[in-house]
Structure 1
């Protein structure tokens, strides 16, 4: 188990001493202190951000952790395959700067391959933590939770009390890789010497495989509409709806989701060589992204960037050369067979929707079918009519398929039907 304690000290030496006493008495492993005392945060056992606004201290001697990331108002350490991030965001910064800090958090959560726990003083109100309403900063955090799939585990208890006012400012956020059944969030009632209450977060350092992601039901928009309609019918029938009925209806709708069997078909110029080079380029890119999250690896990071750029350059060269070669082959096939692979590629691009037959197109087709110069210069000939009749021609035209390709004269099927009328 990893026991973590969070509090805002307001730069008070008394609050800092009380926090260390609570942590020692409660057998906590880590302390996350926002606005810590200046001299306390400068001690060797503390790891702070670049401005000294948030710091993390190891209380248990048997716990070894390493620095994961350090920035302005943010410090992250890695402990037992879990990244613990301490955050402090001042209420006096503009909204744009606040959004930049949330984007920085989003980048760390999205790029990390480990479980992530975020503890800090965010200084805003959000319904995700149990508040009555959300302000502009709360909306930005809620968007961050929706994008990353993270979850705020606050239980709605206030963490700030001053002059008769209560609010939830200190938050605890976990990502989807955390086990939801092995997390305990508690707001302590002990004296802290600050207007912020101490927050205790106890998590398991053993990953059991259960995550928020695989227990959260996913419904399409159509299924959501069906669920709403079923509930509307239940309400119209004056049936009492309980949580068990709600869960049963959602499970039934999820069971009705058909499994997709169609697969993506690659483009015509895709080859095995391009696929292998693309996989190599992606491996190099992942290596670069991992290097950027680690401190003290400047040379290795520069070498990884050079390898990634070389692999990307080679991939672009292979795609360009293959496209050129395939285009020349396609031109040769088109000259030999107009209705071959080139025609199939174009019709697939068009889809099921055929071009509309407008006035200009109809006039062009009529000039091709009945050229005036040839009719004027053509000598009178005797047509043989004993082989077919006019009605037979009309019946044959009616039987033509709408998707039938144009013949040698280049006329559309719709034009033939229009001439019959």
Structure 2
């Protein structure tokens, strides 16, 4: 009986660097040390012009793959203030960031634009690593805010699903932490073992 091909699992890291140079240096070190396949970076110190980076036009969010190793490259599809979309193997990654200081009506307009990006990516599977400062119980946030409610409606409308689950903090600061960020995915990708790992899966697989 012929051997079954092994599935390749890739590790996706999402983080916010708060525009710190040292944090970006540490990120690149950990990407190499931990074998991270791709990192979605909100508020980077800078977006490198190197070919392994793809960034938003305002520089507030970017994606980076290791310069060496057996990882799919990033091929830019489109970008605008607050998001960057790229092909990554057979997946489309859409890294997004929205400021907590911007009003709800701007967030609603932003989600409309983002919905167009996800729609244009079809039929490719989509992963949306996000830092939108939106809080909602579906991703285990202890509180819900208006942006979280708007984001949840958008997720349902666009057919995405929440990948990260559980109550472990995704944001930790000196004054406390919370479950702020995460990933959304379209079928046929599912959660596999840990947050940030995606592998081919059938329709209906829980995330």
Q: Does the CA contact (< 8 Å) of 1:127 and 1:133 recur in 2?
A: yes
Aligned residues: 193
Root-mean-square deviation (CA, aligned residues, Å) is: 1.8
Q: Which residue of 1 aligns with 2:41?
A: 33
Q: 1 or 2, which has the higher helix percentage?
A: 1
The one of 120, 140, 150 aligned to 2:130 = 120
Q: Does the CA contact (< 8 Å) of 1:29 and 1:59 recur in 2?
A: yes
Question: Structure 1: how far apart are the matches of 2:173 and 2:189?
Answer: 34
Q: Does the CA contact (< 8 Å) of 2:24 and 2:45 recur in 1?
A: yes
The 3-state SS of whatever aligns with 2:40 is: strand
Question: Structure 1: how far apart are the matches of 2:117 and 2:193?
Answer: 21
Q: Given the superposition, is the C-alpha separation of residues 64 and 161 from structure 1 closer, same or farther in structure 2, using an over 3 Å criterion?
A: closer
Q: Does 1:48 find its partner at 2:55?
A: yes
Q: Given the superposition, is the C-alpha separation of residues 161 and 181 from structure 1 closer, same or farther in structure 2, using an over 3 Å criterion?
A: closer
Q: 1 or 2, which has the higher strand percentage?
A: 2
Q: CA deviation at 1:211?
A: 2.1
Question: Structure 1: how far apart are the matches of 2:56 and 2:193?
Answer: 26
Q: Does the CA contact (< 8 Å) of 2:135 and 2:144 recur in 1?
A: yes
The one of 156, 159, 162 aligned to 2:170 = 159
Question: Structure 2: how far apart are the matches of 1:159 and 1:138?
Answer: 15
Bigger relative CO (Cα 8 Å, ≥ 6 apart): 2
Report matched runs for 1:184-223 at 5 Å: 184-185=194-195, 201-204=196-199, 207-208=200-201, 210-212=202-204
Q: Does 1:137 find its partner at 2:165?
A: no
The one of 79, 83, 89 aligned to 2:92 = 83
Q: CA deviation at 1:108?
A: 2.2
Q: Which residue of 1 aligns with 2:4?
A: none
> Any unmatched runs of 5+ in structure 1?
186-200, 217-421
Report matched runs for 1:16-415 at 5 Å: 16-38=24-46, 41-44=47-50, 45-59=52-66, 61=68, 62=70, 63-111=72-120, 112-155=122-165, 156-175=167-186, 177-180=187-190, 182=192, 184-185=194-195, 201-204=196-199, 207-208=200-201, 210-212=202-204
Q: Does the CA contact (< 8 Å) of 2:19 and 2:43 recur in 1?
A: yes
Q: CA deviation at 1:22?
A: 1.0
TM-score (norm 2): 0.85
Structure with max Cα Rg: 1
The 3-state SS of whatever aligns with 2:102 is: coil
> Any unmatched runs of 5+ in structure 2?
1-8
